[in-house]
Amino acid sequence: SLRRIAQYDHWSQTIRRSILPDSKADLLLFGNAERAVVEVAHRVAAGEDIKQITDIRGTAYMRQGIPEGWTVLDSSEIDADKSLVHPQTDPYADTSAKDKQGCGDKNNQTKPSKIDPNQGAVQV
């Protein structure tokens, strides 16, 4: 399902296009597609043309041209405003020193409930 759009292939060191034009498939289902498979099967069994099935979540399909009301944007211009760029965080940075209190609330005086499995009752 990674190839539903163009992606970098680390094995061949190339950019690979979507698998849709290569496979000549009418419809590509990706992700957790159990419900999508069932819906496609029911709609095709009911006589609907598979090329008309374009409204199921988790599917990709080819279009001939740009649909009416849609606009094509140059992706290099979308993030032109550099003030919106957030610095990347180091995933290995230790941030525990910033949070001295930890996860719990030390001011919370609520006592935990104790469950005695032999009694089958909750003790507060």
pLDDT computed for residue 74 by the predictor: 77
Residue 47 has pLDDT above 70, yes or no: yes
Biggest alpha carbon distance in the chain?
A: 70
Three-state DSSP class for 122?
strand
Structure tokens at 109: 């005086």
pLDDT digits (tens, 9 = 90+) for 61-108: 888 888 899 888 877 766 666 676 677 777 777 766 655 555 566 666
Rounded Cα distance between 81 and 67, Å, is 28
Q: Where are the alpha helices (DSSP H) in 1-124?
A: 19-23, 34-45, 75-78
Residue 3 has pLDDT above 70, yes or no: no
Residue with tokens 């849709």: 20
Rounded Cα distance between 85 and 79, Å, is 8
Query: How do the domains of the chain map onto residue ranges?
Result: 1-63
Class of residue 29 by CB neighbours under 10 A (exposed 0-12, middle 13-18, buried 19+):
buried
Residue 38 has pLDDT above 60, yes or no: yes
Give me the mean pLDDT over the 17-26 stretch. 84
Which of 38, 79, 77, 76 shows the shortest CA–CA distance to 59?
Answer: 38
Rounded Cα distance between 121 and 115, Å, is 6
pLDDT computed for residue 18 by the predictor: 81
